Amino acid sequence: MFVHRIATLLRTLLPLGLLLAATAVHAAPVPAPPKIAASGYLLKDFDSGRILAEENADQRLEPASLTKLMTAYVVFQELRDGNIRLQDQVLVSKKAWRTPGSRMFIEVGKKVTVEDLLKGMIVQSGNDASVALAEYVAGSEDAFANLMNEKAAQLGMNDTHFVNATGLPDPEHYTTPRDILKVAAATIRDFPEMYRIYSVKEFTFNKIRQRNRNGLLWRDESVDGMKTGHTKAAGYCLVASARRNDMRLLSVVMGTASEDARLDATQALLNYGFRFYQTHRLYGAGEVLSRARVWKGEQEKVPLGLEQDLYVTIPRRQYKNLEAGMRVDPQLMAPIRKGQILGRVEVSLEGEPVTEVPLVALRAVAEGGLMQNLKDSVLLWFE
């Protein structure tokens, strides 16, 4: 096991003077997260995935209009796959027009573009727009709900079940703070261009101007999305995403008592995360971290690295105390395929594990010829 100070291992991230002068700085205790008056909440770093605060994160709760995060995700995927287009004209059905709750005020029998319906659903939280999109994509809202559940399963939302595209109450319509944050993160990761709709502060349709219900878009300039929700049973809910410098945090607050309560609770969580933690990118995907001996192969060495960028979220001013180690499997034998797991990268802070990720082959190594096999067999015998 090879262990290195991060400052030594990642010479491109720190100036030489800092490398030579780097000394350990003992961690000051990080205070406990703020107390949040909510049925459940979660605060998570987007890049590293580290959870910074949570309470009842796996409790099944009514999502209200947070449901529309999944509705939008399914529509975004349909757009990406070429099954629909933003300028497609959608004929508004009587069912969509009659859907109760928040509305963008579409009219039955008229056509509205997919793009306008998306804005009406995301910015204005229009239930009518949600149903119109669901019917256009899948033929009916029930069929669309099946697509939502399929996508939820693919995203690992194991405690989630949808029966509609709006979030209107139903005993079989539920999610958890942890699950709803998964689709929020997937939206930012998979559809960064479409995610920008969540930052639109107001939208005018049919000569009716409505403001985005996410008040943090006005209160905190680092917040660039995502979605509010409210029903009497669900309470006031908010999923938010904020970026300050190179750190993005995601929060979900469900079941608060008022609009102000959900804003204050979310702001408190975000301020806590940004104040006491930092996120660092340690290694890039495909970066060669080491080269390992390969026996009986066409090449004697295989480059090792990571399939994805590696980020860690740690208390502030503790970067110099990080240590990284690599464990490589002994006696690697050809053939080796690209992406094959050949070891682990382990990162710790003052002796405590931070994260562990697979170390993979960055290129394939084919089996060598007869002479190479004989030569390496002899060398292995002496080993």
33 within domain boundaries: no
Average pLDDT score over residue span 129-135: 98
The more confident residue out of 133 and 16 is 133
Q: Confidence class of residue 103 from pLDDT cuts 50, 70 and 90?
A: very high
Q: Is residue 261 located within the same domain as residue 369? A: no
**pLDDT digit string (tens) for 105-118?**
999 999 999 999 99
Identify any residues that bridge with 323 across adjacent strands, giving them in sequence order: 5, 348
Which of 245, 279, 313 is where one domain is finished? 279
Instruction: Judge whether 68 counts as a catalytic residue.
Output: yes
Q: Confidence class of residue 13 from pLDDT cuts 50, 70 and 90?
A: very low
Q: Is residue 232 located within the same domain as residue 125? A: yes
Sign of CA dihedral 147, 153, 157, 158: positive
> Which pLDDT score, from 0 to 100, does residue 323 have?
95
Question: Given 39, 65, 102, 251, which residue is catalytic?
Answer: 65
34 within domain boundaries: no
Q: Confidence class of residue 8 from pLDDT cuts 50, 70 and 90?
A: very low
Identify any residues that bridge with 304 across adjacent strands, giving them in sequence order: 290, 361
Identify any residues that bridge with 204 across adjacent strands, giving them in sequence order: 209
Please tell me the distance from the alpha carbon of residue 204 to that of residue 227, in angstroms, as a whole number.
Answer: 18
H-type alpha helices, 27-67: none
Extract the runs of DSSP E, i.e. beta strands, from 75-196.
89-91, 111-113
31 within domain boundaries: no
Which of 230, 259, 279 is where one domain is finished? 279
Q: What are the tokens at 200?
A: 């639109």
Please determine, for residue 4, whether its predicted confidence score (pLDDT) is greater than 90: no
Q: What are the tokens at 302?
A: 């295989």
Q: Confidence class of residue 271 from pLDDT cuts 50, 70 and 90?
A: very high
Q: Is residue 143 located within the same domain as residue 220? A: yes
Instruction: Judge whether 65 counts as a catalytic residue.
Output: yes
Helices H, strands E: what count in the chain?
12, 18
CATH of the domain at 81: 3.40.710.10
Please tell me the distance from the alpha carbon of residue 305 to that of residue 359, in angstroms, as a whole number.
Answer: 6
Q: Is residue 177 located within the same domain as residue 230? A: yes
94 within domain boundaries: yes
**pLDDT digit string (tens) for 200-213?**
999 999 999 999 99
**pLDDT digit string (tens) for 331-383?**
888 899 999 999 999 999 999 999 999 999 999 999 877 776 676 566 667 76
Q: Find, among 108, 271, 242, 252, the residue nearest to 180 by Cα.
A: 252
Please determine, for residue 10, whether its predicted confidence score (pLDDT) is greater than 60: no
> Which pLDDT score, from 0 to 100, does residue 28 have?
67
> Which pLDDT score, from 0 to 100, does residue 27 have?
57
Q: Confidence class of residue 5 from pLDDT cuts 50, 70 and 90?
A: very low
**pLDDT digit string (tens) for 281-292?**
999 999 999 999
Which of 251, 279, 307 is where one domain is finished? 279
What range defines the domain where residue 7 resides? Answer: 2-23+284-382
Q: Is residue 149 located within the same domain as residue 238? A: yes
Please tell me the distance from the alpha carbon of residue 317 to that of residue 278, in angstroms, as a whole number.
Answer: 8
Please tell me the distance from the alpha carbon of residue 74 to that of residue 133, in angstroms, as a whole number.
Answer: 10
Please determine, for residue 319, whether its predicted confidence score (pLDDT) is greater than 60: yes
Radius of gyration of the chain, Cα coordinates, nearest whole angstrom: 25
Please tell me the distance from the alpha carbon of residue 227 to that of residue 126, in angstroms, as a whole number.
Answer: 12
226 preceded by a cis bond (ω within 30 of 0) = yes
Please determine, for residue 2, whether its predicted confidence score (pLDDT) is greater than 90: no
Q: DSSP 3-state assignment of 168?
A: coil
Please tell me the distance from the alpha carbon of residue 176 to that of residue 182, in angstroms, as a whole number.
Answer: 10
Whole-number average pLDDT of the chain: 91
What are the backbone angles phi and psi of residue 5, rounded to the nearest 5°? -65, 140
Identify any residues that bridge with 239 across adjacent strands, giving them in sequence order: 227, 252
35 within domain boundaries: no
Please tell me the pTM assigned to this model: 0.89
> Which pLDDT score, from 0 to 100, does residue 377 have?
66
Q: Is residue 343 located within the same domain as residue 258? A: no
Identify any residues that bridge with 211 across adjacent strands, giving them in sequence order: 202
Q: Side-chain half-sphere of 255: how many Cα atoms within 13 Å?
A: 19
The more confident residue out of 21 and 100 is 100
H-run or E-run covering 77: helix 68-80
30 within domain boundaries: no
28 within domain boundaries: no
Q: Is residue 76 located within the same domain as residue 176? A: yes
Please determine, for residue 23, whether its predicted confidence score (pLDDT) is greater than 60: no
Q: Is residue 174 located within the same domain as residue 294? A: no
C-alpha of 279 from chain center: 14
Residue appearing with tokens 């987007």: 46
Please tell me the distance from the alpha carbon of residue 45 to that of residue 347, in angstroms, as a whole number.
Answer: 17
Average pLDDT score over residue span 131-145: 98
Question: Given 93, 125, 241, 251, which residue is catalytic?
Answer: 125
Q: Do residues 48 and 313 touch, judged by C-beta distance below 8 A?
A: yes
Q: Is residue 300 located within the same domain as residue 265? A: no
Instruction: Judge whether 110 counts as a catalytic residue.
Output: no
Q: Is residue 220 located within the same domain as residue 304? A: no
Q: Find, among 363, 321, 312, 372, the residue nearest to 342 by Cα.
A: 363
Residue appearing with tokens 């262990």: 3
Question: Given 68, 119, 227, 296, which residue is catalytic?
Answer: 68
Please determine, for residue 187, whether its predicted confidence score (pLDDT) is greater than 80: yes
Average pLDDT score over residue span 2-25: 36
> Which pLDDT score, from 0 to 100, does residue 334 have?
85
> Which pLDDT score, from 0 to 100, does residue 378 have?
67
> Which pLDDT score, from 0 to 100, does residue 9 have?
43
Q: Confidence class of residue 12 from pLDDT cuts 50, 70 and 90?
A: very low
Q: Is residue 305 located within the same domain as residue 259? A: no
The more confident residue out of 369 and 182 is 182
> Which pLDDT score, from 0 to 100, does residue 207 have?
94
CATH of the domain at 351: 2.60.410.10
Q: What is the edge-to-edge ordering of all strands in the sheet holding 322-328?
A: 2-5, 322-328, 341-349, 352-361, 301-305, 290-295, 332-333
Q: Is residue 260 located within the same domain as residue 314? A: no
**pLDDT digit string (tens) for 44-89?**
999 999 999 999 999 999 999 999 999 999 999 999 999 999 999 9
Q: Confidence class of residue 17 from pLDDT cuts 50, 70 and 90?
A: very low
Total domain count, the chain = 2
154 within domain boundaries: yes
Q: Do residues 334 and 297 touch, judged by C-beta distance below 8 A?
A: yes
C-alpha of 201 from chain center: 23
Q: DSSP 3-state assignment of 54?
A: strand
What is the bridge-based pairing of β-strands 290-295 and 332-333?
parallel
